[in-house]
Structure 1
Amino acid sequence: MSRFLKNRSLLILILVPFLALLLWNLRQLQHPAGTPVSPQETMTRRVILIPLDGRPPCRQFVIDAGRIGGTEVVTPPHELQDYYSQPGDTKAMRIWLENEMNSADAVILSVDQLLYGGLLTAREKQASAAEVEELLRYLQELHQSHPDVPIYAFSILPRLTPQDTIDGYDERRDIMAYSRLAGRKAAGLPVDEEKLAKLKDKIPPASLARYLAHFRENAALNERLIDLTHDGTLARLVLGQDDGEEYGIPNIEKFALQGYIKDLGLTEQQVFLTHGADEIALSLLAAWHNAQTGYAPKIFVQYSDPQAKDRVMPYMAVPTGTCTEEKIRLAGGKTAASPEEADFTLLVSTNDADKDTLASRADCVRILKKNLAKGQPTALVDLSKHFTAAETVLPQLIASKYPVNRLLAYAGWNTTSNALGTAIAQACLYRSSLPAVQNDDEAIGLAAAQIHFLENRLLEDYFYLKEDIDVINGTLKKAGYTNTADLDLDRNYRWANLMLRTSMMRHLRVYRQTDAFRAPFPVDAPSGTIWLQLHDLQADMSFPWPRTFEIYLETTPFFERLSSAPAT
């Protein structure tokens, strides 16, 4: 009996704190400190988007970010869109676009989607001369029939990696080595000519011919698109370099196109070359919105450590500083010499555990807290050389109780160009929209759209891509999957998505109770400063394609309006 009482006492000691915490959490959810609000969207513009492909970064990001700028972003029906290796219906999509033009303020379109049916298909498929001419005529006729609707087009240069149709590990390795050496030679650097010749001899002639032809065809297409920009058919053309490296045959094409653009006397406002692919539509939306509102952002850039600006991160052909300045110019902004003359600060962290840079994370936290105290809006780009949580700033930011919903933007997706383009676009859309706010309801609606996009990025870029993806991949491999980039979701969709949701919801339950998440944040409104607080955050997530590389994620934030400013 005494043993029973002892065990019961121990059980009570364990359960009482747990039940107290549970009751406290329930009370917080049921009895907010302020008044619950239901934000209202105000859409004043309409943009048609033909996305690079159907993945969320290329499509859903742009739709969600459009809401920050009061812009309805309309995309083709799902039945016309590509799905993984299945190309989109290019002919039906062109008909759909033409029918939608009458009610559009602008069009942002992917040439790779309209010609090939998406990025993955563009990497493999060869377009005939007749198919290219048909697309070019379509674009000319589209402009002629709707001259007041500007067309912003973007096209992607092929990456260094060979097409999937070129098979065999040794063959692909030799082609990539040959491409890198050929790129160094074209850049005027010394190379081992004997090694270059031996590599060429090892590669099957048909495979090398297919690889090189891909660049020639792409260069010819892009020259014709540049011509369409020169004659005014396209309001702007952006050429993106996908998964670049410092030296390679893709750079030979890029430099040749730069020469062609210069010969025609075109400016960066007409044709812009950038590193990256997935984020280009979002950058174009921000650039267009900045032009519509007359906003030319001045951005002060801070780096996590003295070497961060010159660090070349994975899948990039240029240092981080070069890419940063490029993405700022693409959005229509310029760098500021000091925080005092800037509209906002862009803090860029490029941590690399191999270079012993992890101490810079604490420096980033100090910078963010200092900027917060000064009232300097700051966007954080949280890059990781090895895509690991240990190299990121966010966990230290949460642990320090920094109010994360006061970040102007956050991005830490897979490549430097993706993350920079996303963060700069979000920050610009929010800042350029503030002057147009007419009343408190619109101010709250703008803040809600901003927080929605921000929380989506925090959950995916950190909690999924730095915490969960490796665990999920490991579980899949234990279950017999040798390639997590090619899942059989027809057979295991429910199981894979249940594993995703279980893991992410575990993070979300903890994150929602942190001081960093629950801290109130101010909203500029015509009546003065409004204070909002996130009362709850629900999330829906799934794998949009049969691979784990990206997820579909949509959050639903629940807000409350505080009656007064919180005590400091």
Structure 2
Amino acid sequence: MKKILYVPLDDRPCNYLYPSLIAKIADDIKLLTPPFSLMGKCKRAGNSALIWEWLFKEAPNADYAVLSVDTLVYGNIIHSRIHNRTMDEIHMYLNNFEKLNSINPALKIEAFNLVARAAAYNDSFEDPDYWDTYGESIWKYGYLKDKIARNAADRAEKAEFEKIEKAIPPEYLNDFLKRREKDLYVNLYCAELTQRGIFSRLVIPKDDTAEYGYAAMDQRKISAVINEKELADRIMVYPGADEVGSVLLSRVFCLIHNYKPRIFVRYSSVLGPTVVPRYEDRPLGESVKAQITSAGGIVCDTAAESDLLFAVHSPGKIQEECCTQQNKDISYATHCCLPEFFNYIKYYNEAYSKPIALSDVAFSNGADIEMMRYAKKTGILNIISAYGGWNTSENTNGMCLAHIIIHSYYAKHGFKNNGLLRSEEFAARKIAEDYLFQAQTMLSLYSLIPEKFGGCSPRYCAEIEKEAADLSGSLLVNKLNEEFGGRLFNKNVVLGDFTLPWDRINELGFTLSLV
């Protein structure tokens, strides 16, 4: 039994819980996480000092560690954006990685540290308080500054930059930029730790990124160091965030089992791999290759040599938000042929009898409702083993890949100790969460929460958390019964213990079992 230590990016289910659920598919690994009470919650930072103490205690008998540097230095993902850590405090935590290595030199550390996002809108829920008023302007300042530096801005954009620069209070802009300098310093320090062998590998995910802006400027500096130190084989930089813990778990699983899954990728649209998704900075096909590599797999050219099919439901020409799909762009019909896509999935299943994952990234922040109803009607949902359709494209692709890679190993070698049931439960959870809740139920809650709870905002439900969670859960159960008769994978779905992890309706926590 191999022991893996896992420090998540934050306390939300996608980061704290889901890697543990995926790990339960396996019968010979033990994933240990810090006590939930240490993880903090949104703007309340996790207790980095106590999480380090937990790591030091568990390290002597551990084989691998998947570690969020953001949590171990700042407290969690949100505090990486709002912290007031001094450089002395940052160095104190960074030096702990060397201490961890001295405690157990054989411990193989897979680390990840984000390039911090700059949200392109005025809202301070996950950002500094001044983001309510100046968030969009600070984002646009970085976007235009980078575009000007790369000689890509026109005269109007240069004039807009000068206007925005004068409009942002200097104390706010300086606060934001100094924090980004610290974030960049930590990423470069992590590259040094990788070069020295403290980290086996390092992933630097770009959280909610774009072609131009702060993240692009940071990546150029990070890439220069990677190239100078010849670390491209051990450090990867690509879009993502909340899926990385699961992706690196998959990588560790593959290392333990000497498994190099050969993955055949099929898109639902010809232009799909060339589309640059929302919140990302590169074509979808490039990010899929990065996720497969990071998860321990290899892209293969033919179905016959593959261990699994990664079926990507991609945008036809452009990616839109899930909540706008009732009026979606015509290219979703003209540039995407679902009948052919589903015919191929059925053919692969009949010809090769190997696992299939359906990664639903046609829209951002939720599933393609029309596609999922067609998948249900045509029996596609009965033959896939993994599904995802949430948040950003790389959140979906990474989580879906982590699940299907571990599933595919046991499909070949035999499931043990209810491993198949655990895999089906995770797939059922993603169908319930991404398709039934995020794509459908959540939208209705935006009007129901204020109506039922005296004008309370659906994004700030702390005072009515239990009531709002129960309402969300009851609507989800109703939707499950309405669309699937309460059954998935030929079993009854039992949902319960509903919570709002960050006191908002953007994500719903719940238990799920198949009986």
TM-score relative to the length of structure 2: 0.90
Q: 1:497 aligns with which of 469, 478, 483?
A: 469
1:340 CA drift (Å):
1.5
For residues 350-369 of structure 1, the aligned pairs below 5 Å read 350-351=314-315, 352=320, 353-358=328-333, 360-369=337-346
For residues 152-551 of structure 1, the aligned pairs below 5 Å read 152-161=110-119, 164-165=127-128, 167=130, 171-192=134-155, 193-268=158-233, 270-351=234-315, 352=320, 353-358=328-333, 360-374=337-351, 375-385=353-363, 387=365, 391-402=369-380, 404-434=381-411, 436-437=413-414, 442-443=415-416, 445-478=418-451, 479-481=453-455, 483-488=457-462, 491-513=463-485, 517=488, 534-540=490-496, 541-551=498-508
Task: Provide closer, same or farther for how the CA distance between residues 492 and 482 of structure 1 changes in structure 2, counting only shifts above 3 A.
Answer: closer
For residues 8-27 of structure 1, the aligned pairs below 5 Å read none
Residues 441-463 of structure 1 show CA distances to partners (whole Å, capped at 9, x for unaligned) of x4462211211111111111111
**CA separation in 2, counterparts of 1:151 and 1:120?**
23
1:109 aligns with 2:109: no
- One-letter amino acid matched to 1:430: H
**CA separation in 1, counterparts of 2:222 and 2:361?**
30
**CA separation in 2, counterparts of 1:456 and 1:398?**
16
1:57 aligns with 2:17: no
Q: In 1, are the aligned partners of 2:247 and 2:402 still within 8 Å (CA)?
A: yes
Give the SS at the match of 2:97.
helix
Give the SS at the match of 2:332.
coil
Amino-acid identity (%): 22
Give the SS at the match of 1:151.
strand
- One-letter amino acid matched to 1:413: W
The Cα RMSD (Å) is: 2.2
Q: In 1, are the aligned partners of 2:207 and 2:239 still within 8 Å (CA)?
A: yes
Q: In 2, are the aligned partners of 1:538 and 1:556 still within 8 Å (CA)?
A: yes
Give the SS at the match of 2:112.
strand
1:425 CA drift (Å):
0.9
Q: In 2, are the aligned partners of 1:166 and 1:172 still within 8 Å (CA)?
A: no
Give the SS at the match of 2:85.
coil
- One-letter amino acid matched to 2:495: A
For residues 79-158 of structure 1, the aligned pairs below 5 Å read 79-158=37-116
Rg bigger for which structure?
Answer: 1
Task: Provide closer, same or farther for how the CA distance between residues 168 and 279 of structure 1 changes in structure 2, counting only shifts above 3 A.
Answer: closer
**CA separation in 1, counterparts of 2:244 and 2:17?**
13
Q: In 2, are the aligned partners of 1:308 and 1:320 still within 8 Å (CA)?
A: yes
- One-letter amino acid matched to 1:296: K
1:376 CA drift (Å):
4.4
TM-score relative to the length of structure 1: 0.82
**CA separation in 2, counterparts of 1:433 and 1:219?**
40
Task: Provide closer, same or farther for how the CA distance between residues 386 and 53 of structure 1 changes in structure 2, counting only shifts above 3 A.
Answer: closer
**CA separation in 2, counterparts of 1:423 and 1:187?**
36
1:99 CA drift (Å):
0.9
**CA separation in 1, counterparts of 2:250 and 2:367?**
29
1:482 CA drift (Å):
5.7
Q: In 1, are the aligned partners of 2:361 and 2:367 still within 8 Å (CA)?
A: no
**CA separation in 2, counterparts of 1:282 and 1:289?**
10
**Structure 1 residue aligned with 2:323:** none
1:371 CA drift (Å):
2.0
Task: Provide closer, same or farther for how the CA distance between residues 238 and 392 of structure 1 changes in structure 2, counting only shifts above 3 A.
Answer: farther
Instruction: Show structure 1 runs of 5+ residues with no match.
Output: 1-43, 519-533, 559-568
Aligned residues: 491
Q: In 1, are the aligned partners of 2:80 and 2:183 still within 8 Å (CA)?
A: no
1:185 CA drift (Å):
2.9
- One-letter amino acid matched to 1:504: L
Greater relative CO (CA pairs within 8 A, separation 6+)? 1
Instruction: Show structure 2 runs of 5+ residues with no match.
Output: 321-327
1:416 CA drift (Å):
0.4
**CA separation in 2, counterparts of 1:46 and 1:484?**
40
